[in-house]
Amino acid sequence: MNYEKIFSQNKEEKIKGRYITLDDIEPILMKLNSNNQLQVIGKSVQENPIYSYQIGTGKTKILLWSQMHGNESTTTKALIDFLNFLNNKSELANQLLESFAFYSIPMLNPDGAKLYTRENANKVDLNRDSQNLTQPESRILRKIYEEFKPDYCFNLHDQRTIFGVGDTGKPATVSFLSPSYNEERELNANRIKAINVIAGMNDVLQKYIPGQVGRFDDGFNINCIGDTFQSMGTPTILFEAGHFQDDYEREVTRKFIFFALLSGFIAIYENVIVEERIDDYMHISQNNPNFFDFVYRNIKINYDGSEIITNFAAQYKEELINNKIFFNAFIVKIGDLEDNFGHYEFDAKEKMYTDSDNNIPNLNQKADFYLEKDIEVVNGLVKL
């Protein structure tokens, strides 16, 4: 199957980048609303509408939700692309629509999306509110879950650039998890169903991003929505959209999330998930927080009159300014980086560090400096 071609034919060109708000997706959803598939299922803290989009007449019911965390927009883009695909009247789309009933919530947290924050407008992490249900957005999702009674849940998120695949030095571009349903992290029939789907998606992704698929930690937390739904008996799959090389806008990762969605539903449709694939799932390396956006090695600094060679790392801080995301690099670690990797690495070969302040790198300092005064680094990047 030509996943690349299918994606290119259905990619929604009107949305791109990291800052995706309700204003961006609302007109697209309205355009897709050809047969009353679009409904307002509730309001956010700030009274913004929360939409559902339902399509398909099949027996297998799929519940998908994205942007539970407002600043995690990659899966929202991929979900919109997938909705475009379901509406394209192709033979494959029609087969899936006859087999599945899709209930999607493209943006559960529109307030957080507007503010570009993880939390909602009350500064509550909705993914820690699945038991207390203190927030309107949490209650809406639970209500839909109880009414729709899904056969599978797809919990769609982004993850930070700090995650790599084990100790391979490769970024975790896409990560999955079949959440635990109890403290013991035991396997039951429902969790294995989710595991089997993940194994099928991994088979496809390895053809495109070999070694860049990770497995998220399965420590049990009943306050997390995936753990809750898994414990309530529904096979649940956590998606984490991560970093691909030089793709801070996550437009490439968006494509691979689309591949994962489509291949996952094909696996269920073709019933290739009946075979237990626990070993295949467990062989997906766990995520390891061993990456920085920038790593600088073998830097010479003058420290109290003595010249020493050290390393340091910088990380982007994403800042919303005038409705645009800016990536500003700050120094976050100095010293031993032996077990760490950088999405961008630079070997200074013992060149002397200088800056406009005190000529010594400090934590939380903007990553603007010179090496021997002939190499300039601006916002983390070496200017050549």
Task: For residues 259 and 261, give the distance between their C-alpha atoms in angstroms, rounded to a whole number.
Answer: 6
Phi-psi region of 58 (alpha: psi -120 to 50; beta: other; left: phi over 0): beta
Write out pLDDT tens, residues 111-156.
999 999 999 999 999 999 999 999 999 999 999 999 999 999 999 9
Task: For residues 112 and 122, give the distance between their C-alpha atoms in angstroms, rounded to a whole number.
Answer: 9
Half-sphere exposure (Cβ direction) of 377: Cα atoms closer than 13 Å:
31
Residue with tokens 């949305």: 15
CA dihedral angle for residue 369, residue 294, residue 76, residue 256, rounded to 10 degrees: 140
Task: For residues 91 and 88, give the distance between their C-alpha atoms in angstroms, rounded to a whole number.
Answer: 9
Q: Architecture of 291-383 per CATH?
A: Roll (2.30)
Query: For position 305, what pLDDT does the model report?
Result: 83
Task: Check if the beta carbon of residue 232 is closer than 8 Å to that of residue 267.
Answer: no
Query: For position 50, what pLDDT does the model report?
Result: 98
CA 246, distance to chain mean position in Å, is 16
Cα→Cα distances 161→9, 40, 287, 322, Å: 28, 34, 11, 24
Kind and range of the H or E element at 348?
strand 341-354
Closest Cα partner for 351 from 316, 313, 300, 304?
Answer: 300
Task: For residues 48 and 304, give the distance between their C-alpha atoms in angstroms, rounded to a whole number.
Answer: 56
- Give the pair of three-digit tokens for residue 306: 């003595």
For residue 101, the cross-strand partners are 61
Segments in the chain forming alpha helices (H): 3-10, 22-32, 74-86, 91-99, 110-115, 136-148, 189-205, 225-231, 251-269, 278-282
The Cα diameter of the chain in Å comes to 74
- State the first-to-last Cα distance of the chain, in angstroms, to the nearest integer: 42
Average pLDDT over every residue of 289-313: 95
Domain ranges of the chain: 3-288, 291-383
pLDDT confidence tier of residue 277, bands split at 50, 70 and 90: very high
Pick one of 3.40.30.10, 3.40.50.300, 3.40.830.10, 3.40.630.10 as the CATH number of 3-288.
3.40.630.10
Closest Cα partner for 240 from 215, 266, 210, 273?
Answer: 215
Average per-residue pLDDT for the chain: 97
Average pLDDT over every residue of 266-294: 94
Write out pLDDT tens, residues 318-362.
999 999 999 999 999 999 999 999 999 999 999 999 999 889 999
Q: Which amino acid is at 78?
A: A
Task: Give Cβ neighbours of residue 358 (< 8 Å, ≥ 6 apart).
Answer: none
Cα→Cα distances 346→70, 192, 210, 298, Å: 33, 43, 25, 9
Query: For position 274, what pLDDT does the model report?
Result: 76
The CA angle 142-180-205, to the nearest 5 degrees, is: 95
pLDDT confidence tier of residue 303, bands split at 50, 70 and 90: confident
The model carries a pTM of 0.97
Query: For position 120, what pLDDT does the model report?
Result: 98
Model confidence at 27: pLDDT above 90: yes
DSSP symbols for 1-50: --HHHHHHHH--TT--SS---HHHHHHHHHHH-SSS-EEEEEE-TT--EE
Write out pLDDT tens, residues 210-258.
999 999 999 999 999 999 999 999 999 999 999 999 999 999 999 999 9
Query: For position 49, what pLDDT does the model report?
Result: 98
